[in-house]
Structure 1
Amino acid sequence: MPFRIGIDLVEIKRFKDIAKKTRFLENNFTEKELKDCEKKQAESLAGRFAAKEAVRKTISENIAFNRVEIFNKKNGAPQVNFLDKNIKKKYKSEISITHTKHLSQAICLTEIL
């Protein structure tokens, strides 16, 4: 099966202000993601947003950001969950997220099933 790679980089400081905008949060994140991001809100939201951008770059579907859920496995590794069943049947994605003081970056490897 073919693979695609996507990468994205975002500034963490943008998410300090964005974290106060309820509509943006609802349109781009699931309730579970928002709860998971409470501790390091700006950094965590930036990382998840970068991951969603990276994922969208690898699939040839127009999917809303709040239909791509990024969560952490028990070992702390980030994982992609497609909330749309049709997308879930077509793609399998693995991601990695990293942060510096000012930036969050994510890379995605997607297998087309």
Structure 2
Amino acid sequence: MEILNIGTDIVENKRLDNLNLIKRFLSIEEFSLFENIKDKNEALNFAAGRFAAKEAIIKTFNKKINFSNIKILNDNNGKPIIFFNDKLTKNLLLSISHEKKYTIAFTILLKN
């Protein structure tokens, strides 16, 4: 497979400790998952992961994309999967990692 482009983003988790901000960038499904996380730090990690991932995706395509057009869920094994306008995207790989106060996301766009 040929790599067409990559994207990455890192965020300091505490920057996203604002429910109004989180509601603006999470989809309805993502926000439902967020609300069901009981531990505050885990919930913040989740939100930071989605934010960093969406930023990395936008950087991968190098064009303006609204956060509302991107939804990141997980498959049955916990692997993040990406939807654009509710359509599964199979040629875009995503990795999200957390380390104490920071979250990083990395994307790879593959040629179809």
Q: Could you list the per-position Cα deviations for residues 48-86 of structure 1 after superposition, in whole angstroms to 9, with x for gaps in the alignment?
A: 11000101011143210111111111100111111176x
SS in 2 for 1:37: helix
Aligned to 1:100: 99
Selected match of 1:56 from 58, 65, 69: 58
SS in 2 for 1:75: coil
Task: Report the CA distance between 1:29 and its aligned residue.
Answer: 1.4
Unaligned runs of 5+ in 2: none
SS in 1 for 2:82: strand
TM-score by length of 2: 0.82
Query: In the alignment, is the contact (CA less than 8 A) between 1:15 and 1:43 conserved in 2?
Result: no
Selected match of 1:36 from 8, 33, 38: 33
Q: Number of paired residues? A: 105
Aligned to 1:110: 109
Unaligned runs of 5+ in 1: none
C-alpha change, 1:102 and 1:74, in structure 2 (3 Å) is same
Task: Report the CA distance between 1:111 and its aligned residue.
Answer: 2.4
TM-score by length of 1: 0.81
Say what the alpha-carbon RMSD is for the aligned residues: 2.0
SS in 1 for 2:108: strand
Q: Does 1:71 align with 2:73?
A: yes
Measure the CA separation in 2 of the matches of 1:98 and 1:110.
Answer: 18
